Every structure is written in structure tokens, then in C-alpha cells.
Chain A
Amino acid sequence: MEPNKLLDLYTRILRIRRFEEQVGTLFAQGQLPGFVHLYIGEEAVGAGICALLRDDDYIVSTHRGHGHVLAKGGDMQRMMAELFGKRTGYCKGKGGSMHIADFSIGMLGACGIVGGGIPVAVGAGLSAKTRGTDQVAVSFFGDGASNEGSFHESLNLASALALPVLFVCENNQYGEFTPAIQAMNIRDIALRAQGYGIPGVIVDGTDALAVYDVAQEAVARARRGEGPTLIEAKTHRRGGHAEGEEAFLGGQQYRLADELAAARRNDPLLKLHTFIVENGQIPLETLETLDHEITQAVTEAVAFARASEAPDETILYEDTWV
């Protein structure tokens, strides 16, 4: 991979990591309302896929969506303000963590309903095909969503109509607190592609370069008008389902010991960092400067969010009927 591409990939991952770390801290301090689902540990998937997309390509995300917004090029300040419920946020404080969208860069929204965004992505693909463009639509979802009817209807529909869609399953091994292997009788979700007559590919979702490679073919196939691909990115979530989950789990443990160990071994940021260092294409100080800049940007995003005003009653009744 060319150094500038590699640096781009690394930047996307690092932006997500530093943003999410800060969000975790803020939530633990009780500064953020509602629920927060962090993308730490899964960054390589969103980054690897989005690094291949154009601004006019579409993505639809999940409840664990911060990483997808950032990977697609979203603005940290407007995101952070949204998490604080402020009027300067992406959705004027009406969406929150699980519903951030940025239509200007094809980010059609995160989604609080498991599997709820998949049909919407299919519609974006249908739209691209009908309008005769070579845009593609990417649907991100988790292992849990692959048990929802919407997943199965969407794969079949996109396959039957040969739509330019990438179905990207981030298999982080748990649907909420239930191990995926307990919720389905197969190990590989990619197998499900066979039932719909489309390619199903498994990739190490903690390896950004591997994700990028696999997605390259899937994106090209979609742009050529040959239809959808299911990519199963096997990954791990570093933390829990939701921040602060200890409070409602009452101290019960659910992580499988070997999976937790694997999660710690397979850090996508560390993996790419190691690769870059061993490869020697990018000076270490470039990476350090980048980290410093991103950390600074996160700090500024928090300051921006804090300084922003809360939405008022006019905003409550805005954005209803056109």
C-alpha cells in the first residue's frame, strides 16, 4: 500500500480510537445522557471499508455508530455536541449517540434498531442503480442483526435486483450480552451469503489492511453492477455492549475467557502501528504528531460541545413535516 493510503487508514483508526476513549471517560463521569456504545476494537472494519469509498457513496450504520461516522469523514465537534445533546450537534440534539447522520458525506444515519438500517442501505443501492450512477451503499451491522428478518430480506432483495450494496457484518462475537455462537448454529455468518447466491467473505476484522483488500473487490464488483457481497469481519469489542453496563448486569460476567484474551491480543490500532513501524515507510514522528493533533482535536470537540447551547423549544418542533 502506498504510504499516503496507509497513513489515511491509520488516521481514520486513530481518530475513532481517541474520540471513543474520550467518550468513554465522559460517560463514566456522568457527563453524557442516554446510552453509549463504543467502537473500540472494531475500528479497522469501518476504517478499512470507508477508506475505499467516495463522499457520494452511502453508508448506513448501527447503534455502535461513532466509528462509522468518523471513518466516513464526519466532524468531531458536531458529533461530540450531538452526544452532549446540544443544538450545534449533527442532529440538533434530537438524535444522540445512536442516531448520528451526515448526509453531506453519504452517511445516512446510525440506527438504534438492530438490523433496522440494512433495508435502508438496500434502498440507497436501489437509488444508485435506478439513477444510473456507480455509487455503492454499505450496510454495517453486527452478528446479532444477522439473526433479524431484515438482514435476510435485505440480502435476498439486493441479490435478486443485483444492487450495489456491501453488507458488512461486524462479528464482535456478542449480540448484546449473548455469545453469537449461542445465538446461531453456525460459526461463520459469511455462510449465510450462499443462501442468497452472493459472495460471502470472511476477513480478520482487526486487520485494517486485510479489510481494505477484501472490500476492494466487493466495492469493484458493486460498481460494475454485479450485485452485493457479504463481508464478515471477525472482530472484538474492547469494552462491553454499552458503557456503564456493570450497573445493570449486577456484577454478572458474560465474556468468554479465550475471547477476551483474543480481544486484548488483537488490537487493530496496535496491529497497524506495528505494520507501519516494521514497514518503515512512514517516520515514527509523523505518527506521533498525528496522534497529538487528533488528541487535540478531540479536546477541542469537547470544549465546543460544552460551550454550545442546549436546544430550545423551536428546535423541538422543527424538522417535522416538510
Chain B
Amino acid sequence: MPRKTYIAAIQAALAEELRQDPNVILIGEDVRLGVFAGTRGLHAEFGDARVIDTPISELGVAGAGIGAAATGLRPVVDLMFGTFLYLAFDQIANQAATMRYMFGGQTRLPVVFMTQNGGGIGAGPHHSQPVHPFFMNLPLIKVVMPSTPYDVKGLLKAAIRDDNPVVFLNHLSLGSQRGEVPDEAYTLPLGKAEIKRAGRDLTVVAAGLMVHHALKAAAELAESGIEAEVVDLRTLKPWDEETVLASVERTGRCICVDESYPVCGGASEWAACISEKAFYALKAPVQRISNAHVPIPFSPTLEKMVIPQPAAIVAAAHRVMATTLPERN
């Protein structure tokens, strides 16, 4: 199977979807040039009408994507950095998240807001703050955060074909990561997690970059005889409760790792659900690992202290393995 970078897999997904459906368009700042290469080369094939450069105007462009979706197109709106979604937040939260419902089902909004989420490259707070919990909180919005080149291609194609608004979060620091990506077309279902590593002792729930940190931690834990199961959520909303709960039922221990702030973050949502629905399977309290609750600092030394690292997962794993709840009757 050919090996591609995460970025090349994004390109492939966009090219395939632009080719197979004339209603798919790509709009955003510098999409012709493709600053981070995800959209590079597409303008040459699809031209001005399908690959549309816009002013730096996130609110306007996001709204235009919504209006275009309501009138027959399937726009992919490229918003470059996750933090820029805050500039478009009114359109996503007040229009995209409400219109179909608020208008009694009169419309569908097949629009993808694509951006790069998270940190890890020393870009400073305005380009690195994770944004996904805000969108997870909204009704009617799907949120996807792929971790591998294979996943990003299949999930992006599925997101473009989905009739609902999707916030699609590529990870800022995974762009050059390589993996096997088939040349042929395939989609991956939104809302389905994948067990990236099986293990009997504890479950680690993660998405995006945190999947890689969890896999590193799992490899290290294996050396001391602890087998961690890594569940990659892939889609953050709707998220695959079933796969996660089944895993926790098997292992009895769980760590939720999310690259976002601890209050109302991803880890909080997963941990709450697990505690509620798999309570009697638990042998130890569910652990949450999140960003430190400060803006993302620039210095790589400091940034590493904010974003959860494999060592924190290893430490949490040892902690939960050392805990056993008293027998209940």
C-alpha cells in the first residue's frame, strides 16, 4: 500500500470529492496556493469556480459556506487555524448549528469547516489553542479529529458527503506524519471509534495527536507488563460511546486524554459518561488528562508542559493500576 503524509491524504480526499461531485467547492484564504499544502494543486485541476480564494474574512466566509450549503452546494470552508474559527463562531453556532432545526427541517447544511487544531509546533497561543470542546457543545454540529493519514482521507471524504455541518479538525502537528493510504476511494463512517491498540489492563480514550501520545505510553507500559488499550475516537461528536464503554467493561480502568482545557473539555465529557454508564465495571476512578489551564505558551519547553505528554499517561496508568476499589456486594 502506498505511504502518504497526513497532508497528502487531505489533498487526495479533497481532489477525489471535487472530482466526483460538481457541487463540492473549496473556499478560504489562500486555498489556491495551499499554504499548509492540504489544498495545494487543486486549483490547477478544478479552476476558479471550484477552488475559491477569499479575503481574510472568517465570519463572512463561514457564513457564505452556510448559505451555499443551504442552496445546493457542498462547500469545504478552509479556516486554516482552529483559533480562527472563533472569528466565525457566530455563523457556526447561531446559524449552522440551528438552521435545519429552527426552520423545521426545511434545509440541509452539508458544509465542512476544515481547520488545523491544537498545538505542538511553537506557534504561540493565537495559533495553538484547541477549540474542539466549543463545537462539541453545539447541537447539530459534527466534530471530527483524525489521527492518521489513513483516517484523515476516509473521514474527510465522509464529512464532505455528510448532509450535516461538520467541523473537521486536522491536527497542526501531524501534517508530515506518514502512513499507509490506499489510492482507491474509501470513506470511514463518522461517529465510529477505532481501537488502535488492544490491551486487557486499561483503556486510554484519545483523539488526534493524543492518540500518538497514548500509543507511545502504551508501548512503554507494555515493557512493565501493563497492556493498555488505545481507543481513537476519530469523531468527537457524535462520539462512539459503545466502543469506549465496551472497552472499559473489559479493562475496568480508564484514562481520558484530551488536548483541550480541563473545564468542560473532551476528557470531562468522556469521563462523565464512563462514570455514569460503566460505573460497576470500574476498578479505579476514571482519570482525566488535559492541557494545563493556561494559554498555550510559545517556548517549546513551556508548550510541552501544557500539552499532555506520553509520560503523563504512563504515570496515570501506574496510578490506576495501583488502585483497586473495595469489593462491592
Contacts and interface: CB of A to CB of B under 8 A. Distances in A.
B101 A154 contact: no
Contacts of B52: 126, 161
B140 A320 contact: yes
A156 B104 contact: no
A150 B104 contact: no
B94 interface: yes
Contact of B59 (A108, A137, A150): A150
Interface stretch (A32-40, A85-93, A206-214): A85-93
A131 B72 contact: yes
Given A101-B103, A119-B60, A150 B70 contact: no
Contact of A99 (B25, B63, B102): B102
A254 interface: no
A319 interface: yes
Nearest to B103: A101
Nearest to A111: B95
Given A150-B59, A154-B60, A123 B68 contact: yes
Contacts of A45: none
A118 to B, nearest CB: 7
Contacts of B61: 119, 153, 157
A322 interface: yes
Among the interface residues A90, A118, A154, A322, which one has the most CB atoms of the partner chain B within 10 A?
A322
B78 to A, nearest CB: 15
B60 A89 contact: no
B66 interface: yes
Contacts of A103: 70, 103, 106-107
A188 B185 CA distance: 55
Nearest to B191: A321
B67 A119 contact: yes
A127 B72 contact: yes
Interface string B45-72: 0000110101101011111111111111
A99 B60 contact: no
B67 A102 contact: no
A144 to B, nearest CB: 15
B108 interface: yes
B55 A157 contact: yes
A127 B140 contact: no
B106 A119 contact: no
B102 A130 contact: no
B135 to A, nearest CB: 14
A318 interface: yes
Interface residues of chain B: helix, strand, loop or mixed (majority) = mixed
A122 B106 CA distance: 19
Most buried by A among B23, B71, B164: B71
Interface string A118-146: 11111111111111000001000000000
B164 A321 contact: yes
A113 interface: yes
A131 B163 CA distance: 19
A211 to B, nearest CB: 24
A320 B101 contact: yes
Given A150-B63, A157-B64, A124 B90 contact: no
Interface string B227-240: 00000000000100
Interface in A280-322: 318-322
Contacts of A109: 99, 102-103
A123 B70 contact: yes
A153 B164 contact: no
B100 interface: yes
B102 A120 contact: no
A149 B59 contact: yes
A271 interface: no
Given A154-B60, A157-B60, A128 B71 contact: yes
A92 B70 contact: no
Contacts of A108: 67, 70-71, 107
Contacts of A318: 105
A122 B104 contact: no
Nearest to B110: A322
A91 B162 CA distance: 23
A92 B142 CA distance: 24
Contacts of B57: 153, 156-157
Nearest to B25: A130
B67 A137 contact: yes
Nearest to B101: A319
Contacts of A183: none
Given A119-B63, A130-B73, A322 B163 contact: yes
A162 B99 CA distance: 26
Q: Which of B54, B57, B75 has the most CB of A within 10 A?
A: B57
A150 B67 contact: no
16 contacts: A91-B102, A108-B107, A113-B94, A120-B66, A122-B60, A124-B67, A126-B52, A126-B64, A149-B59, A153-B55, A153-B57, A154-B60, A157-B55, A157-B60, A157-B61, A322-B162
Given A91-B106, A150-B91, 14 more contacts: A95-B103, A101-B99, A103-B103, A103-B107, A119-B66, A123-B68, A124-B67, A124-B68, A127-B73, A130-B73, A150-B59, A156-B60, A321-B142, A322-B162
Closest 10 CB pairs of A and B: A123-B67, A119-B63, A153-B60, A319-B105, A91-B104, A322-B163, A123-B64, A120-B67, A127-B71, A92-B104
